[in-house]
Amino acid sequence: MRAATRRLIPLLLGPAALQKLNARLSLRQAAFWIAAQNHPDNYLDPAEQEILTKYFDAPPGQQTAPRLLDLFCGAGREARLLASQGWHVLGLDSAGPIIQHNRQTQARLPGGAAIEYQAGVLPAALKTIHAPWEAIVICHGMYSTIAGQRQRRQLMETLATLTTPGGRILISALTRIERQRYTPTRRKLLSLIGGNSAIQSGDVFLAEFLHYFADEQDILAEIELPVLKMLDHCKQPLPGGDTRHYFVLEKANA
């Protein structure tokens, strides 16, 4: 019954009210992560830690730490690992309370590496940061929080532009075997209410938007670009049958 009620929420609220609800839920979620004991947001799943350690060790021999952009950084779990591997990390997240908490608790790491945090919403926030970057990461399935196939594709093109030749991009997204599907009538209704003219199978509207891809090939169809070469892919099974995927891409040298 509770699940059915949640599915009805987008149908009962107009776009403005739904946006306010999502913003309030995000603030509550941020407060929960900040206050939680044994901080769940510090957890790196095994696949994530392995791929970050294997492919995102900072290039040696540079006078200053190379620059890495961590999008959807949350409480900084990946940022701390990457900074310890020699990167100067800029963590970007739309949740202002989390960014404020990160700034209050961050510490400079040994070897001169550091983490900076900035609040901002994609894609507008990318216009306010200095490029290029030696590496860009979207970890922990957060690529699936970007609403709309066209928006995700445009983001990938922007990230490729912001990355230096030879630089690497990590994209993490979610797959689900039994994806949410919509009849033509329901698709049109959700499009009118949510302000998105391209509702897709796999889109879910709960406390936040999530898009579940059908499989890894479905993800690759969005993230592959001529200028990017895939180096590796690994996956982490999740409770309930979902899977979190990690793709490492490398930009071609000019």
Burial of 32: CB neighbours in 10 Å, binned 0-12, 13-18, 19+: exposed
**Domain range enclosing 56:** 2-251
Q: What average pLDDT does the structure give for the chain?
A: 80
Q: Tokens for 13, please give them.
A: 């609220």
CATH number at residue 180: 3.40.50.150
Q: What are phi and psi of 142, to 5 degrees?
A: -70, -15
Q: How confident is the model at residue 20 (pLDDT cuts 50, 70, 90)?
A: low
Query: Which residues sit opposite 229 in a β-bridge?
Result: 250
Rounded CA separation 222/220 (Å): 5
Q: What was the pLDDT predicted at 109? A: 60
Question: What number is the average pLDDT over the span 10-37?
Answer: 51
Confidence of residue 44 (pLDDT cuts 50, 70, 90): confident
**Res. 11 pLDDT band, cuts 50 70 90:** very low
Q: CA-CA distance, 17 to 15, in Å (whole number)?
A: 6
Number of domains in the chain: 1
pLDDT of residue 137: 98
pLDDT reported for residue 239? 87
**Can you tell me whether residue 148 is helix, strand or coil?**
coil
- Note if the pTM is more than 0.75: yes
